[in-house]
Amino acid sequence: MKLKAFKAALPYTLPILTGYLFLGFAYGILMSDKGFSIIWTILMASCVFAGAMQFAAIPLLLSTFNPLLVFMMTLLVNIRHLFYGLSMLDKYKDAGWKKYLMIFMLADEAFSVSVAANVDEKVNKQWFYFFVSLICYLYWQAACIGGHLFAVFIPMKIVGLDFTLTALFYVMILNQWDKLSNRKYVLLGFGLTLIALILVGKTQFLLLAMLMILLVFVFIPEKQHDQS
């Protein structure tokens, strides 16, 4: 039963491996370049397990200790998990002890696969969901650790790796801009971010921008969301 579920889950995760290797390697190299030991990389990758927040945490760890800022930024960067996690409750409810691990390991990519995959009736779905999440989790650990170890062989100071995630999101925005017929929410995000930057400066603008964007989405009528 477990082996069949593993074999069914593995092909779905292979495309994810490509993205995780690139981003995880970049993260591991960047952590090494900023002076963090491999222990920090292992702890961040295994305990935090949130690509965007791990990149965002690097300057936070290097700056003045501000636990409230870290908490709020982590909450806002990953608040989407609250919403799509709710849609997995029925899928996870009969998973037993695996449920708690799957909740912890539920990343964007594992969520997408678990929702979209057509699982064969002969395959145990709870084990399938578990292996999807576990394999993705292990991909990320291997990539981050591998990147940190690989950084030893780079003699020069690394420049630009901290822009890796920003570049990824930039490409994703361009792709969405090309596909979307109604771009008002993209423009709204840009506008509110610019306002936040003007109000509080570049060191604190991200937190304020995400708060404003969250409030706008909370108070916009549901019908307008559907029309977009």
Q: What is the dihedral of CA 159, 175, 136, 56, to 10 degrees?
A: 40
Q: Are residues 147 and 211 in the same domain?
A: no
Identify the weakest region by mean pLDDT among 40-44, 115-119, 211-215, 219-223.
Answer: 219-223
Q: Are residues 38 and 104 in the same domain?
A: yes
Residue 145 confidence (pLDDT): 96
Q: Contact at 8 Å (CB) between 21 and 139?
A: yes
Decide which of 153, 171, 192 is a domain's last residue. 153
Query: Residue 157 gets which letter from DSSP?
Result: P
pLDDT band at 6 (very low <50, low <70, confident <90, very high): very high
Residue 173 lies in a domain: no
Decide which of 91, 118, 153 is a domain's last residue. 153
Q: Are residues 48 and 115 in the same domain?
A: yes
User: Mapping DSSP to helix (H, G, I), strand (E, B) and coil, where does residue 58 land?
Assistant: helix
Q: Are residues 105 and 53 in the same domain?
A: yes
Residue 209 lies in a domain: yes
Residue 137 confidence (pLDDT): 96
Q: Are residues 136 and 204 in the same domain?
A: no
> Where in the sequence is the domain holding 209, given as residue range(s)?
180-227
Decide which of 153, 171, 206 is a domain's last residue. 153
Between 76 and 142, where is the model more confident? 142
How confident is the model over 147-158, as pLDDT tens digits?
999 988 876 666
Share of the chain above pLDDT 70, in %: 85
How confident is the model over 54-72, as pLDDT tens digits?
988 888 888 887 888 788 7
Residue 52 confidence (pLDDT): 81
Residue 63 lies in a domain: yes
Pairwise CA distance, residues 139 & 10, whole Å: 11
The total of structural domains in the chain comes to 2
Stated pTM of the model = 0.74
Residue 98 lies in a domain: yes
Q: Say yes or no to pLDDT of 228 above 50.
A: no
Average pLDDT over residues 194-203: 86
Q: Are residues 91 and 201 in the same domain?
A: no
Segment (H or E) for 175: helix 164-179
Residue 159 lies in a domain: no
Q: What's the whole-number average pLDDT of the chain?
A: 82
Residue 168 lies in a domain: no
How confident is the model over 73-111, as pLDDT tens digits?
787 778 777 777 777 888 888 888 999 999 999 888 888
Between 120 and 182, where is the model more confident? 120
Identify the weakest region by mean pLDDT among 11-25, 141-155, 178-192.
Answer: 178-192
Question: What separation in angstroms does the CA of 109 have from each of 31, 38, 103, 137, 139?
Answer: 23, 25, 13, 10, 12
Residue 199 lies in a domain: yes
Q: Are residues 187 and 113 in the same domain?
A: no
Residue 164 lies in a domain: no
